Amino acid sequence: MSPMGIVSDSDFLNEFNNSGVEIPVDGPGPITGSIEEIKQSGRSEGDTNVPDVLRKIIGEHSQLEGRSSALELAGAFGISPSSVSAYNAGATSTATIDKPKDELIEYLNDRKKKLSKRAMKKLGIALARLDNTKLADCTGPQLAHVALTMSNVVKNLEPSSTNSSDNDRGVKAPVFVIMTPQVKSEDAYAVIHSRE
């Protein structure tokens, strides 16, 4: 008998006869079997990773066009929704989402900067064309809408007031902690009497 339990037909019939189970009239028939591979979870041998270029495109698409649009794009390539979330955060997988890949984060931040510069130019052109003569012809609700929009523009352009949060450029603001020495009184020290 082999270690795996695979035996010849004659050995099987001998053991079957010794078991006390009755053999059907037409006999046990031919003994056949097959070996099936069990799929393992995770990446199988020979699978390839998603190329970095595709990760960048999907991550950028998720940030600029929204998650639903990025999911549709990723679905065309057979990429899971959890991977879209990872690429949006600059990581290569959900397992490494707390450790984003520097190259992917740099690419996403660079794309945001370029788009932000283009938007700032368009904003400058729009503000230059909005002169006092155009505002003079506006009704009350139109002026209120312009005022609300301009207040949002000013609010978005102001620098962040908190030191601990990330600013728009993705750079952490420094946090300074100033420590002052504590002044102790004479009573805080142990008294040691000595001979003169």
The two three-digit tokens of residue 60, written as one number:
């950028």
- Would you say 92 and 54 are in contact if contact means Cβ atoms under 8 Å apart? no
Other beta carbons within 10 Å of 129: 8
Q: Which tens digit of pLDDT belongs to each residue from 175-187?
A: 877 878 788 888 8
If pLDDT is split at 50, 70 and 90, which confidence band does 42 have?
Answer: low
Q: What is the pTM for the complete model shown? A: 0.43
Torsion of CA 52, 56, 61, 63, to 10 degrees: 130
List, for residues 106-144, the tens digit of each pLDDT value.
Answer: 888 888 888 888 888 888 888 888 888 888 888 888 888
Condensed to tens digits (0 to 9), the pLDDT of residues 67-119 reads 888 888 888 888 888 888 888 888 877 777 777 777 888 888 888 888 888 88
